[in-house]
Amino acid sequence: MDIYIDTADLDEIKQAAALGVLDGVTTNPSLVAREGVDFHTRLREICQVVSGPVSAEVVATDHDGMIAEAEPLIGIADNIVIKLPCIEEGVRACKTLSDRGVRVNMTLCFQPLQALMAAKAGAFLISPFVGRVDDVGGDGMEIIQQIRQIYDNYGYETKILTASIRHPQHLVQAALIGSDVATCPLKVIQQVMKHPLTDVGLKKFLADWHEAMAVLQKKEPALT
Ligand code: G3P
């Protein structure tokens, strides 16, 4: 499963990229607004750090406006993926761009039929928001499961990108279901590498090692 970071914060992206396991980046208008920087400049900076797919979302809500906004974004770098909302005009714009060979990420997906339409329109990625579904008492991961089954039933190649991930359990479930990608905040990427028993075990290994070395040094100074 590919792991993307869900942020427009360049320092966070650099931190995640330094791990050597980052496959891409997703941004959205709220994340970019939080940074208070020029959108295109920030995308250029991100694309210098990450060579995998970098999603850039349009804010127009009509087909022609979406295409017009997408044009300069596409020119920023080869790895830019145009992010469009799962609305009628978004599906139309997805078809237009996909037919031209532009990769599209269909976002704000909350039910499996939106994912079906995105796949039929040639989307490269579909982004179901699991955390936001859970927030309103639904079961976000059930939607991932349903989309997986629909895509597998018909051989759609659109990749499922599990988004709106709130905690490591979302990531575990996404991987078990067979989501192609998961996009997470830096906090979750860091959380998945932590386990208290790993810390306790490492502390013990190091203590045992240093204790044994100290004893050995006393007995056989030349060996240490
Ligand atoms: O970028 C899309 C998605 O991951 C947003 O997540 O936490 O705002 O629901 P969140």
Which residues have C-beta within 8 Å of that of residue 183, sequence separation ≥ 6? 3, 4, 5, 6, 24, 26, 127, 161, 162, 163, 165
Distance CA 204, CA 50 (A): 37
Do the domain assignments include residue 144? yes
Do the domain assignments include residue 207? no
Sign of the Cα pseudo-torsion (64, 158, 191, 47, in order): negative
The DSSP output letter for 49 is: H
Do the domain assignments include residue 7? yes
Averaged pLDDT in 10-residue chunks for the chain of 224 residues: 98 98 97 96 97 98 98 97 98 98 98 98 98 98 98 98 97 98 97 95 98 92 68
Do the domain assignments include residue 21? yes
Active site residue 83: yes
| pTM (2 d.p.) | 0.94
Which residues have C-beta within 8 Å of that of residue 24, sequence separation ≥ 6? 2, 4, 5, 50, 52, 53, 54, 55, 79, 181, 183
User: What pLDDT sits at residue 220?
Assistant: 80
Residue ranges making up the domain that contains 127: 2-194
Do the domain assignments include residue 214? no
Distance CA 53, CA 6 (A): 12
Do the domain assignments include residue 202? no
Q: What is the CATH number of the domain that holds 38?
A: 3.20.20.70
Residue 164 Cβ contacting ligand 1 at under 6 Å: yes
Which of 134, 164, 186, 188 maximizes ligand 1 atoms within 8 Å of its Cβ, making it the mutation to test the pocket? 164
Distance CA 18, CA 122 (A): 32
Do the domain assignments include residue 219? no
What ranges make up the beta strands (E) of 125-213? 125-128, 159-162, 181-184
Residue 129 Cβ contacting ligand 1 at under 6 Å: yes
Do the domain assignments include residue 181? yes
Q: How many domains does the chain have?
A: 1
Q: Which helix (H) or strand (E) holds 215?
A: helix 196-219
